[in-house]
């Protein structure tokens, strides 16, 4: 059994990591680091783990663990790694945004690989450090990667994507309170969301040319988890060719499914899947993408990366059925 460490153990993403890891057949949680909760039971914060995990939070690290997940606030991972040393064999998976951009990938003799398996599945198994993609970035990239690979992103792309309240993290803010979020819908960070940089870099790497403007409108939804994204653009590609393009690109991707039925969140919430529906409507291509922001958009994808790094089937520990009812 490989031993796992989690840094920053009290948030939603850490809770989902632990929920997955306690049932993973090849690994076991070794320590859960929290500077605010040392000595207290992990199940006291993550109450869905009552009876599943007998472990207390700690403010000490075990530098010998096989894999460590960094679940810190954005911008905090570099600071933590600069002050703490792990064994050379320890794989690092960062779930923040510190290493997602190309300019930030090299840090303290570590080269972070961008951890989108559908894009970098060939190099992730040999990586020692992973920058896990953002949740919006995952949903949007999976919607557009096949077009970039075919050099078909040659005009403006328009994206609308709505996320659940868990995307804002466990700390309370005005817009994450139930009384504000319930029966409400709002746009935020219009055309300026922080995930745009990593999306553009991935698309440009595949297209091998500058990509057009990505007009992204993120929305806050009045539900707890999931992202539903729609992307559309003008394109001359025929509908039949569009279907073949997407199905061929994802033919070996166990979690990304191109489906013929309308896509909605109940198909993917509580799973590590991304469902894509691609349509040609008049002169436009429309792609609808749905993921669980805490799993395929965060913890589930991190475990998928861990599996690849450890030489395991990437589906191990991630066989979840959606909560349809």
Q: What is the CATH number of the domain that holds 210?
A: 3.30.360.10
Q: Are residues 188 and 204 in the same domain?
A: yes
Residue 254 CA to its chain's centroid (Å): 15
Q: Are residues 111 and 74 in the same domain?
A: yes
pLDDT at 177: 81
pTM of the model: 0.96
Beta strands in 271-311 (DSSP E): 274-281, 284-291
The answer as to whether 6 is a domain residue is yes
CB 83 within 8 A of CB 33: no
Q: Are residues 220 and 77 in the same domain?
A: no
What CATH number did the domain enclosing 117 receive?
A: 3.40.50.720
Number of domains the chain contains: 2
| 135 is annotated as an active-site residue | yes
The answer as to whether 321 is a domain residue is no
The answer as to whether 25 is a domain residue is yes
CB 9 within 8 A of CB 42: yes
pLDDT at 172: 67
Q: Are residues 170 and 181 in the same domain?
A: yes
pLDDT at 175: 83
pLDDT at 86: 96
Q: Are residues 146 and 273 in the same domain?
A: yes
Q: Are residues 76 and 172 in the same domain?
A: no
Q: Distance (Å, rounded) from C-alpha 6 to C-alpha 17? A: 9
The answer as to whether 325 is a domain residue is no
Q: Are residues 262 and 280 in the same domain?
A: yes
Q: Are residues 173 and 212 in the same domain?
A: yes
pLDDT at 57: 97
The answer as to whether 252 is a domain residue is yes
Q: Of 20, 71, 135, 274, which one is the catalytic site residue? A: 135
In order along its 325 residues, the chain shows pLDDT tens digits of: 999 999 999 999 999 999 999 999 999 999 999 999 999 999 999 999 999 999 999 999 999 999 999 999 888 999 999 999 999 999 999 999 999 999 999 998 899 999 999 999 999 999 999 999 999 999 999 999 999 999 999 999 999 999 999 987 777 678 878 888 899 999 999 999 999 999 999 999 999 988 988 999 999 999 999 999 999 999 999 999 999 999 999 999 999 999 999 999 999 999 999 999 999 999 999 999 999 999 999 999 999 999 999 999 999 999 999 988 8
The answer as to whether 319 is a domain residue is no
Q: Are residues 282 and 140 in the same domain?
A: yes
The answer as to whether 11 is a domain residue is yes
Angle, helices 196-207/135-149, rounded to nearest 10 degrees: 20
Q: Are residues 156 and 286 in the same domain?
A: yes
The answer as to whether 320 is a domain residue is no
The Cβ of residue 241 has, within 10 Å, a number of other Cβ atoms equal to: 13
Cα distances (Å, whole numbers) of residue 100 to 13, 130, 263, 324: 17, 9, 28, 33
Q: Are residues 146 and 217 in the same domain?
A: yes
Q: Are residues 128 and 188 in the same domain?
A: no
Residue 94's DSSP bridge partners are: 70, 131
Q: Which domain holds residue 21?
A: 2-132+298-309
């Amino acid at each position: 059994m490989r031993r796992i460490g989690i840094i920053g153990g009290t948030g939603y993403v850490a809770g989902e990591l632990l929920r997955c890891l306690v049932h993973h057949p090849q690994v076991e949680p070794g320590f859960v680091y929290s500077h605010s909760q040392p000595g207290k039971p992990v199940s006291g914060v993550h109450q869905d783990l009552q009876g599943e995990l007998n472990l207390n939070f700690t403010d000490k690290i075990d530098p010998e663990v096989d894999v460590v997940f960094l679940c810190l606030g954005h911008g905090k991972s570099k600071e933590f790694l600069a002050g703490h040393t792990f064994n050379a064999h320890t794989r690092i998976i960062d779930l923040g945004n510190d290493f997602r951009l190309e300019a930030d990938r090299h840090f303290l003799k570590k080269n972070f690989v961008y951890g989108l398996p559908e894009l970098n599945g060939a190099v992730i198994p040999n990586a020692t450090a992973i920058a896990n993609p953002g949740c919006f970035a995952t949903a949007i990239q999976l919607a557009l990667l096949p077009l970039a690979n075919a050099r078909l992103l040659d005009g403006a792309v328009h994206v609308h994507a709505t996320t659940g309240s868990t995307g804002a993290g466990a700390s309370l803010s005005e817009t994450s309170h139930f009384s504000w979020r319930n029966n409400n819908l709002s746009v935020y960070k219009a055309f300026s969301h922080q995930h745009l940089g990593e999306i553009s870099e991935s698309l440009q790497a595949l297209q091998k040319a500058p990509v057009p403007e990505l007009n992204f409108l993120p929305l806050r939804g009045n539900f707890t988890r999931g992202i539903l994204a729609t992307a559309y653009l003008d394109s001359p590609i025929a509908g039949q060719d569009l279907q073949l393009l997407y199905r061929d690109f994802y033919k070996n991707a166990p979690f990304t499914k191109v489906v013929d039925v309308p896509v909605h969140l109940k198909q993917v919430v509580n799973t590590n899947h991304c469902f894509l529906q691609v349509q040609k409507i008049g002169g436009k291509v429309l792609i609808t993408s749905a993921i669980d922001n805490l799993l395929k958009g965060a913890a589930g994808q991190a475990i998928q990366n861990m599996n690849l790094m450890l030489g395991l089937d990437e589906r191990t520990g991630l066989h979840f059925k959606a909560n349809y009812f």
